[in-house]
Structure 1
Amino acid sequence: MIRLVPNHATRIKRSETVTFTFDSEPVQGHLGETLVAALMRAGHLNLREAPNDSAPRGAFCCMGLCQECAVIVDGQVVEACRTVVSADLVVERA
């Protein structure tokens, strides 16, 4: 038997909300969460294009093994799943 539990989402204490940009569009995130989590919550699922066929690519493993979530931060290619959100971060598609 499955027992449904009440939705306690409003009781979760989140860290401070900050704004960063993704392809020049402002995105809200919480300090300390991963960039990929904030981008997915904001509806950004296509983080880069595949080099061979330009197919959209995004988060896959979410733990730094596949490099599918690669983005550019401050001119460096980084994994969005291993990068922490901070205020005024400038993120671009890789």
Structure 2
Amino acid sequence: MTSTYRPNESKREEFRRYLEKGGVVDSITRALVALYEEAEKPNNAAEFVRRFMGGTGPDTAEIETLKNELMAAREKHEELTRENEALKEKLQKYESGQ
């Protein structure tokens, strides 16, 4: 016999009223209806809902581009750090040789 956790019914009802009072239920419903009525369904339904509800920010493609740019910038930083260290060593040898 397995037991499953079920929140207190009054807490669940209280949370439902909170969401309704805040307009969350209506906003989500409008977003889902708009998605349902889309002639061509988007590839990313969650992104569609987020944008429909006024969410701003980069879309998935932009996020991937930014991740790739960040990775390239980190690699360049590491390369320049290594080059800087090598140049410091050369300078140290040059200065100590005089």
TM-score by length of 2: 0.27
Relative contact order: is structure 1 or structure 2 higher (C-alpha 8 Å, sep ≥ 6)? 1
Choose 1 or 2 for highest CA Rg. 2
TM-score by length of 1: 0.28
Give the number of the structure whose residues are more often helix, by fraction. Answer: 2
